[in-house]
Amino acid sequence: MRSAVLVAVMALVTMLTRFLPFMVFRKRTPAYIMYLGKVLPPAIIGMLVIYCMKDVSLSANPFGLPELSAAAGVVVLHIWKRNSLLSILAGTLLYMFLVQVVF
């Protein structure tokens, strides 16, 4: 019962973080929010890239090499082929190979 209450609270607060901006700007979108809607997406993707790497240590073996080289592989392959699915698949396989076999 207690656990069910906690799960409900987690669900409701999570919904709150997603719905709040939509409730605040229900009627019309202010120019400033329109502006943020244009510039935030690329900034947030940049933030998520760092967020994913937050626990990578550059000072301890293997010095973030698997992450950095697999990420570089994704970038190079994506510039070359411009195919997201291919870039992600190849980058992930490269990373799995690096952490399971090489490092």
In the complex, what is the shortest distance from the CB of residue 87 to another protein, in angstroms, rounded to a whole number? 4
Query: For residue 70, which of 86, 48, 92, 53 has the smallest C-alpha distance?
Result: 92
Rounded Cα distance between 24 and 17, Å, is: 12
- State yes or no: residue 102 binds another protein (CB under 8 A): no
In the complex, what is the shortest distance from the CB of residue 70 to another protein, in angstroms, rounded to a whole number? 6
**Number of residues counted as binding another protein (CB under 8 A):** 65
In the complex, what is the shortest distance from the CB of residue 30 to another protein, in angstroms, rounded to a whole number? 9
- Unique residue bearing structure tokens 């809607």: 37
Site for another protein in 36-75 (CB under 8 A): 36-55, 66-67, 70-71, 74-75
Token output for 19: 């719905």
Report how far apart, in Å, the C-alpha atoms of 99 and of each of 73, 78, 92, 103 are: 15, 22, 11, 5
- State yes or no: residue 25 binds another protein (CB under 8 A): yes
* Binding residue (CB under 8 A) for another protein from 1, 17, 63, 65: 17
